[in-house]
Amino acid sequence: MKRPALTRYRRKLVADEPLFGLWVTLESPSITEMAVAIGMDWVVIDAEHGHLDWKDITAHLRAAVRSDTVALVRVAALDIGLIKRSLDVGADGVVVPWMDTVAQVRDAVAFSHYPPTGRRGIGGERATCWGHCLAEHVAEAGENVLVVPIIESVEATENVHDLVAVEGVETFFFGPADLSATAGHAGQWEGPSVAERIRRTVDVIRDAGKHAGVVTTGSDDLTRRRDEGLRMLGLGLDAGLMLRSLREAMDATGRSHDVLATLTPVPEAATSRTVLSQPPESMRPDRLEVMNQAGRGQSIDVAPGIDFDCLVGAHNHARNLTTGMVTVAGGARLACHRQAYGESITVLQGTVIAEIEGRRYRLRSLDNVTIPRGLAHAVMNASSRDPAVLHVAMASVDLQREPVDTFFTRRAMPDGAGGVVGGERVTRHALAHKYVAGPNTEFVDYFNRDLMPGIEMSGGYGRFTQGGRLPAHVHDFDESICIVEGTATCVVEGRRYAMSDNSTALQPRGRVHYFINERSEGMAMVWVYAGPLPERIIVDERCATVEGNPWRDAALPTAVSA
């Protein structure tokens, strides 16, 4: 047991400083050596999930010897044998899953302490220098050992006021995925309402003078969790960090493959990252791209104080997709209605209230709400004075609203709410998962079939720093791209367009194109596909040039700028 490391760990907690660590799931002790070498405060060696055996666990603990990195073992269950063995082979403490009740937390503490205060048996293993330091270890272990219960159920969050009163526990860890499952959102890392539940629970833990921790999903999530008051912050799982880094590197080459549960790559014929020499002949386009300047689209008066500047739709021959800019005057409201197609709303300016069957969400800049067909909803400007500007997209070119006068009980949804299962999806841009889609890019998926089963379209947000771009590609459906920040260069088969100030491109099915940021300031877009999955078919870069245009023999009119 490393007393100096444990003392340093506790001193940082008392000072309310963050403690950064790594969740270890792979067998190589070199991983823990790396964590020690770069100065991580802690590692948790995962013996609950995965394939680590006791030989692997001991090797990881040895890699952390004589360091300032606290080494903990997550046991598979609340079991005195597993806890005793973890501590006997040299762990500085244990992380115990599924701690729902006071009795369970008390047992975890008792199993980790020698009598008379606990029930840990005395053994002559590594922790006692194989019996040679038995008295010394027994004397110091009680005041040094760390016991970290994991809160990963709705029941545990409801019992937290009692859990924090148990002596012998300083830090509680969260398991958002299992907590989401017990809240009815199995398969989601942090399902609807779970983020707010965690925040409330953290407040209770901190009010009791104790601390909370979680594994974060990226740099933005790390900042958010730190701001929420969590202090034991995991930078990720070793395997997840490695896979993320590999995917980012492969994405930049245009050759990355999706990952399947079978642990085999998607067949090259099916993956959107396979580079084709030219698009399939079956995707030969019958229309040219249309560049649409904001303010010059088809103007539609939706309701008093609400104007729709339709930039992509039936008027310029889009298929299964309508997009444009909606300006909502101060205090204006679009009455409750439903539609026979899905709709996406992204806030570009101001704050709006979206109300879906009584559930009220306050949306700010770059937040998105996507509403499946058939759900009654209304939208209003939260300001009585300043206008709000929205990007809207609908999975149809035949726009019809059906008024709804049904009464719905109104309830304000918490800021972290992500929607409801089977209903609307809300993406808070500040909290959203971000990924790399190409060099110098950062993307967020707002909606697609995987996120919202049954939705007819897909879309999201992409930001490009200087030089950021995607490879030349085509789609098997129409696409709308709205430039909401900076200036983009749009290249379509050698034709170049400068776009800014919410100008929107209609890219018909089969047109080879890409966007690039050629300026020093950032550029960002809101993109929507008239297809349920964001599938890009990557083609040889030459296809995006005048000389290599695969459709150059097609008899079509000149490209349109509207």
* Catalytic residue list: 49
CA distance 447 to 467: 26
CA–CA separation, 35 vs 20, rounded Å?
A: 10
Contacts of 300 (CB under 8 A, 6+ apart): 307, 308, 310
Phi, psi of 359 (to 5 degrees): -85, 120
Q: What is the Cα Rg of the chain in Å? A: 27
Residue with the two structure tokens 């444009």:
324
Nearest alpha-carbon partner for 234 in 245, 221, 251: 221
Alpha helices in 384-529 (DSSP H): none
Specify the pairing of strand 42-46 against strand 70-74. Answer: parallel
Cα four-point dihedral sign 312, 313, 317, 319: positive
Residue carrying the six token digits 């809160």: 151
**What one-character DSSP code corresponds to residue 546?**
T
Q: Which residues contact 213 (CB under 8 A, 6 or more apart)?
A: 19, 148, 171, 172, 173, 174, 230, 231, 232, 233, 234
Tokens 């209770």 correspond to 204
Which segments of 62-188 are extended strands (E)? 70-74, 93-96, 146-151, 171-174
